[in-house]
Chain A
Amino acid sequence: MKYRIRHRTRYDYRDQVSQCYSLAHLLPRNTHFQRCNRSAITVEPLPAVSAEREDYFGNRSFHFAVQAPHRVLEVTVESEVEILAQRQSLSLDFGASCADVRAMLSNLEPEENIRAREFLLDSPRIARSQALADYARDCFNDDAPFFSCVRNFTSKIFNEFEFDPRATEVATPLQTVIEQRKGVCQDFAHLAIGCLRSLGYPARYVSGYLETLPPPGSPRLEGADASHAWFAVYSPTEGWADFDPTNDRMAAEQHVTTAWGRDYTDVTPLKGSVIGGGIGQQLHVAVDVERLAG
C-alpha cells in the first residue's frame, strides 16, 4: 500500500515576525512496517538555514531558521510512504503474558528492553497515578496474553470516551480528559499510555496519519483530516505493537507513522520560538492522505 501525504501548516501573526527558529517532526521515518520513499519539506519564506537530523528516538527532525521578516509562515510537507507488511498478522492470543512482560523487562537482553524501560516512566505530559492504574486494571490479567489485554483496553477507551475536537486543546491535562470522558486522538493516546505505564508496561506515543478517503465500502476513520496519534506497547518477546484507541483497532495499513516518543512533547509536529509577532497567532493545519495506485 502506498500513500502520498500532504501536510500544510500555516501561522498568521498579528505583527511582523523578524526571526523564527523552528523544529519540525513532519517527515515520516522508516519502520519495520513502512518505508518513506520520498519526502520534501518547503518553508515559506525561505529559511536562511535548515538541516535534517535524526533525533534521540531515531525520528527525522527538521530544523530551520527564517530570518526574513514575515507575517505568515507556511510549512508544507509532501511525502510518499509505502506500508510494507500486514501489521494485523500479529496474533494477539499468543505471546508473553502480562506477568511475563513485567518480569522479563529487567533482563538486559534483548537490548531493546533497556530502551523500552524509558517508556515506563513519567514524561512531560504523562504522570503515572493510582487512578490511571485503576481505570485500566480490569483489562489486564497476569496470565492472559499481554497484547490481547491491550487490545481489550483499546476498546474500553473507545467505548467509554467520546471523540470531540472542541473538548480539549494542546495543553489539556490528562486528569481533565478522564473527568470529561471526551477528547481527541492525542488525549486518548496519552490516556492509554498513562494507564499502561501506571500498571508497569512500556508504552510510547506515535504521531502519524490516517488515510483520508478510504476505498468504497470501508468506513472513514476519525482523525483523518488532521495528523493522527496513537500508542505502541512493548513486549520483550514480540517487540512493539501499535494500537489506535480513537478507532478501536490496531494500527494497520491505513496508519502512516511519522515519529514516536515518550509523549506529544517529544514529537510535536512543529514548535519553536519567534521574535516579534505580537500577541496572538493563528494556526491552520491541512492534511491530505491519498492512496496511490500500485
Chain B
Amino acid sequence: MGTQELTFKPAADGVSQSAYHEAFTAKGAVREHWQYLLQSLQGLGGEELAMRRLAVDRILRDGGATYNDYSPGLVARPWGLDPIPLVLSSEEWSRIESGIRERAELLDLVLRDLYGPRSLLRHGVIPPELVFGNDAFLRECQGLSLPGEQQLILYATDLVRTPDGELRVMSDRTQTPSGTGYTLVNRQAMSRVFPSLFRDSHVHRLSMYFNKLRLKLNQLNPNGDVARVAVLTPGAYNETYFEHVFLANYLGYPLVQGRDLTVRDGYVWLKTLDGLSRIDVILRRVDDTYCDPAELYSDSQLGVPGLLEAARRGNVSIANPLGSGVLESRGIARYLPAAAKHFLGRELSLPTTRTWWCGDPQDCAFVRDKLDQLVIKTTSRGPGSGIVFGATLSRAERDSMLARINANPAAFVAQDYLDPSVSPVWDGSTPGRQMPLVLRSFAVAGDSSYVVMPGGLTRVGKSTDGIEISNRLGSLSKDTWILASEPEKRPEVDASEVREASAWVGMELPSRVVDNLFWVGRYTERAEASLRLLRSVLTVLKGEQLVAPANHALLLRAITHLTGTYPGFLDPRADLDAPMPELLSIALDPNRPGSINHSLQALMQAVDQVKDFMSADTQRILNDLRDEMSDLPEHLQRDYSAAPEEALDRLVSLLLALAGLAQESMVRGQGWHFLDMGRRIERGLLSLSLLRSLLVPRSEPYLEPLLLETALISMETLMTYRRRYQRNFNIGDTLDLLLLESANPRSLLFQLQKLEMHLSSLPDSVSRDRPGEEQRLCLEALSLLQLADLTKLAATAEGEFLRKDLDQLLSRSQLLLARIATTLTDRYFDHSLGQHPMRPDDNGSPDNPESQNQNQNQTQGQGQRQSQGGSDNEP
C-alpha cells in the first residue's frame, strides 16, 4: 500500500492571497503542531488515504449521519467529513479557551440583565430599540430563573482566523446551539479509521465536555433526587434531527417531542403507556417561541401548552432558558465591547468581528459609505435572513440594498468581510488542496464558570473563495484536534458506559414512540406481503406455469385486494391482458396508498421517529432499502423481459433483515410488544384478505392448484406444504396449513396466539382482573378458528359461487382483527384531541357568538395520517 506519492504543500490554486495557512508558515514550512499529522498521512500514501476516506464515509452513512435540507421528500444530506483534521496547539488552545469562557460569562450577564434590571439600557450601553425591537426578546420570560449561578447554560461560537493570525468571532449561538453531536460523530469516525494516528497524536478527549453537560443538567433539577432529563426535539423534519437522536442516545436521555409531554399540576410529564412520568429538566432543541402555544406562538404544534408557566413556577428547568435567543441578534454583537467594559471593566480577549448596527445613525452613515467593503446581514436571525456581500453587488443591486437599509435601518447590520484561514483538505486527488474554514466551539455552564469543549466542529467552505460556509449550504466538516501537552490517561468514554451511568434510562418510552413502533410493524409487513404477491404474480405472468391468460384475472384481482389499491384490476375497464402498467404503478407510485413504494416511504417515516430505539445496524438496512427502492423503477422496467422478480427479492430480503433485527436485538419491553403486535395484526389482515379473494370464489377445477400455489407462495408456506404433504395441491391441506397450523409462523392461528400473548403483557391487562376489550376480541377470533370444521370450510354447495362457510369465518376474523387494532390505538395512543388556541376576547365587542372557523387549521393527529395512508382492509 501507499505507493502513490503524497505531499502536502502550502500553495494551491484559487486560495485567497492573504489567507492565513493553518498548517504552513509564510515561508512554506509545516507548522510544528502539524508536523506529526502531515508526516503520518504522507506515510500512509494517497491510495491508503483514499481507502480510509471511504471508510469514514461508510461509518458515517451506517451511523445515519445526515443533515436534512429543506427539499421536499425528506431527502437527508449525508454528513461529509474530511479525513484531515484541523490541528490546534495546546498553547494556542488555552488562549482560545479562556476567550470563549469570558464571552460566555459576558453573554450570561447580558442575558440576566435583559430579562432583569436592564441596566445596560438605562446606562446607555445598548440602545433600547435594539432590544425592544428584537423579535427574540420575549417579554413573557422576564424574571425566569434557573437554579445555579448562570442562566446561559449552552453556548456555541463560530470562530474565523483572519490573515493576521488572530481569531475573531463571527457569531454567537445561545438559542439551541447545534453541532456537539456532529462533533462527536466526527471524532468517533476519525478515531476508528485512524486509530494509531489518533492515539499517538495525544488529542484532547471530548467526553469531559459531555460529562460536564450531564452534570450541569442534573444540577438544574429543581425537584431534588436524580434529574429526569429529556431532550426536546421538533421532530424528524428538523435539519439536525440526526444530532438530536444521537445526543439523546449518547447522553442516555429520552428524545421527546412536544406532544409527548403534558403539563399537569404545574409540573411537566412524559406520556408513557404506563401513565405520566415527571420530567425535571428539558434539554431544548426547539426554538423558544415555539415551546408554549398557550403563551408564545399560539399556532405552534411543537410545544407544550403551559410549559412556560411550569418554568416560572420553578418546577422544570429548561436549557437554554426560554428567551435566550435574544442574544443571537446580530446587533447585540455590536455592543458587546461596551457591555464588556460595563460588566467586566475590560475588553474581550476574543473579540467579535467589527459590526455596525444601522439603527444607530452614525453606524448607518458609515455602512452606507463603505457598503462595498462590508457584509450586510439582517439584524434578526429569522427566516429570510440572507447575507449580502457588498463587494459582489452590481450598481443597481447596491442601490436597492441601500433603499432597503434606508427604509428600515434597524433591521440591518454590517460586518467586516472576513478572509478565513485555509487548511489542507483531502479530496482524493489533489494533495495540496487548501480550503477556508470556520470553527464552531462549544461551552457549557459549570460550577463557577464555563467548561469549553476541547475540540469543536470545523466546517470547510465548498469553494476556495470562502465567502459562505454553513451546513445548510452543504459544507464539508473536519474533526478538530487540540493537541495535549502530555497524553491523557482516561480513555474516551463510550456511549454504552455513559448510558449505564445514568439512573433513569429509556424504561419509559413516550407513547408516541410506541405508536410509531406499532406502525413500523404494520408497514414492514404490508410492504413485505405486497412484494411477495407481486413477485409470485410476475412469475406466473411470465408463463412458466401453463395458465390460460384468461385466468390471470383472479390473480391480478388478488393483488388489488391485498394492496388495497382499488379500483385497480377490479375496475371493469381494467386491461387484464396488459397488466404491466398497473403492476408497475402498484410497485412504484409513491403517491398511491397501498403501493409498495408508499408503504416503504411510510415505513421509513415511522422508523425516523423511533430510530433511537432500534439497533444501530438498522440504519444500514434502511440505507440499503432506500437505495434499492430508488433503483427499483429501473430494475423493474429493464428486467421485465428477464427477471423482474429478482429486484423484488432484494427488497424482501432487506425487510426480512429488518424484522430479524427487531426480533434479535430489541429489549422485550412495550416497544417490542407493540412492534410485533403491529406485524401480527397486519399479517393476519393481509392473509385474510388474500385468502378471501383467492379461495372463496369457486374456480374451475384446473385452476384451483394454481390459486392454492399462489396463496402458499405469497404466505411463504410452499416449501412446508411440499415437504409435509408431498402431493398435489388441495384445498383442505392448504387451509389447514394457512389457517390452523400453530407451528406455521405464517398461519392465522399463529398470529392470534402471539397477539394473545402480547395483549396479556400490556400495562392495562396486567392491572386488570378481567380481560379487556381487545383480549376478548382476540379470544373470540381464536375460538372461532379452533372450532372450525375443515371439511365444511373447503366445501362448495351445489349451485353456489362461493365457499360460504369459509367466507364467514374469514370475514368475521377480519372484523375482529381490525377491531383489536382500533381498540389498541384508542386505548394507548391519544390521537383524537387536537390542541388549539382559545378564541381571544377582544376589547370593545360584547359578544362573539360564532367563531369564524377559528380552529380549522388544527393539524391532524399522526394516527390519522397513518391510517389514511395505508390500506386497513376493513371488511
Contact = CB atoms under 8 A, between A and B. Distances in A.
B41 to A, nearest CB: 55
B842 A264 contact: yes
A170 B842 contact: yes
B132 A118 contact: yes
A279 interface: yes
Interface string B849-864: 1111111101000000
Interface in A41-90: 48-49, 51, 53, 55-57, 63, 65, 67
B851 A282 contact: yes
B837 A279 contact: no
B309 interface: yes
Nearest to B128: A117
Interface stretch (A20-28, A132-140, A153-161): A20-28
B833 A275 contact: yes
Interface stretch (B119-127, B347-355, B538-546, B748-756): B119-127
A293 B849 CA distance: 35
Residue among B128, B841, B843 with max Cβ neighbours from chain A (10 Å):
B843
Interface string A199-238: 0000000010000000000000001011111000000000
Contacts of A49: 265-266, 313
A6 B32 CA distance: 79
A192 to B, nearest CB: 14
A227 B843 contact: yes
A32 B836 CA distance: 38
Nearest to A246: B844
Contacts of A281: 838-839, 851, 854-855
Contacts of A275: 305, 833-835
- Interface residue tally of chain B, by bracket? 35 or more
A274 interface: yes
A9 B848 CA distance: 11
Contacts of A53: 312
A228 B843 contact: yes
A120 B846 contact: no
A273 B846 contact: no
A108 B122 contact: yes
A264 B838 contact: no
B139 interface: yes
A280 B833 CA distance: 14
Contacts of B836: 273-274, 277
Given A65-B309, A273-B293, A281-B839, A184 B128 contact: no
Contact of A9 (B841, B849, B858): B841
Given A53-B312, A108-B123, A170-B840, A226 B293 contact: no
Contacts of B118: 114
A269 B844 contact: no
Nearest to A267: B843
B298 interface: yes
B294 A23 contact: yes
Contact of B841 (A185, A273, A285): A285
A165 interface: yes
A111 interface: yes
B844 A11 contact: no
A3 B140 CA distance: 30
Given A63-B309, A271-B838, A273-B837, A280 B845 contact: no
Contacts of B834: 275-276
- Interface residue tally of chain A, by bracket? 35 or more
A111 B122 CA distance: 7
Interface in B135-186: 139-140, 142
Given A63-B309, A273-B836, A279-B858, A228 B851 contact: no
Contact of B848 (A51, A120, A169): A169
Contacts of A174: none
A164 to B, nearest CB: 10
B705 interface: no
A283 interface: yes
Contacts of A284: 847-849
B264 A225 contact: no
A19 interface: yes
Given A226-B843, A280-B851, A121 B833 contact: no
B639 interface: no
Interface in B792-849: 832-849
A195 interface: no
Contacts of B14: none
A270 B312 CA distance: 19
A66 to B, nearest CB: 11
A283 B839 contact: yes
A24 to B, nearest CB: 9
Contacts of B593: none
B124 A225 contact: no
A133 B107 CA distance: 38
A23 B294 CA distance: 8
A282 B841 contact: no
A169 B842 contact: yes
B838 A273 contact: yes
B309 A273 contact: no
A46 to B, nearest CB: 13
A272 interface: yes
Interface in A103-122: 108, 111, 114, 117-118, 120-122
A186 interface: yes
B749 to A, nearest CB: 40
B764 interface: no
Interface in A234-292: 246, 264, 266, 268-277, 279-287
B122 A280 contact: no
B841 A283 contact: yes
Contact of A185 (B265, B266, B843): B843
Interface of B: 118, 121-124, 128-129, 132-133, 139-140, 142, 262-266, 293-295, 298, 305-306, 309, 312-313, 832-856, 858
Enumerate the 6 nearest inter-chain pairs by beta-carbon distance, A residue then B residue, closest first: A184-B844, A229-B843, A56-B139, A21-B306, A273-B305, A185-B844
Given A56-B139, A228-B843, 14 more contacts: A19-B305, A21-B306, A53-B312, A108-B122, A117-B132, A169-B845, A169-B852, A184-B843, A227-B844, A269-B841, A271-B840, A274-B835, A276-B833, A284-B848
